[in-house]
Amino acid sequence: MPLPEPKVKRHHIHTRKVTVNAYIREDGLWDIEGHMSDEKSYDFSTMHRGEIKTGEHLHGMYLRLTVDDKLNIHDAEAKTDFGPYNICAANNDAYKKLIGEQIKPGFTGITRQLFKGIKGCTHMTELLGPIATTAFQSVFASSRKAKEIIGQPLPEIDPDAPMKRPPHLNTCHALDIKGPVVEELYTPFYKPEGEEDDNPGIKL
Q: Give the chain's domain count.
A: 2
Does residue 8 sit within a domain? no
Lowest-pLDDT choice from 94-98, 123-127, 175-179, 199-203: 199-203
45 shares its domain with 116: yes
Contact 197, 170 (CB under 8 A): yes
Query: 0.95 exceeded by the pTM?
Result: no
Does residue 26 sit within a domain? yes
Does residue 62 sit within a domain? yes
Task: Please give the Cα distance from 181 to 84 (Å, whole number).
Answer: 46
Task: Please give the Cα distance from 174 to 56 (Å, whole number).
Answer: 38
Which domain range does residue 81 map to? 14-148
**Confidence class of residue 200 from pLDDT cuts 50, 70 and 90?**
low
- Condensed to tens digits (0 to 9), the pLDDT of residues 51-81 reads 999 999 999 999 999 999 999 999 999 999 9
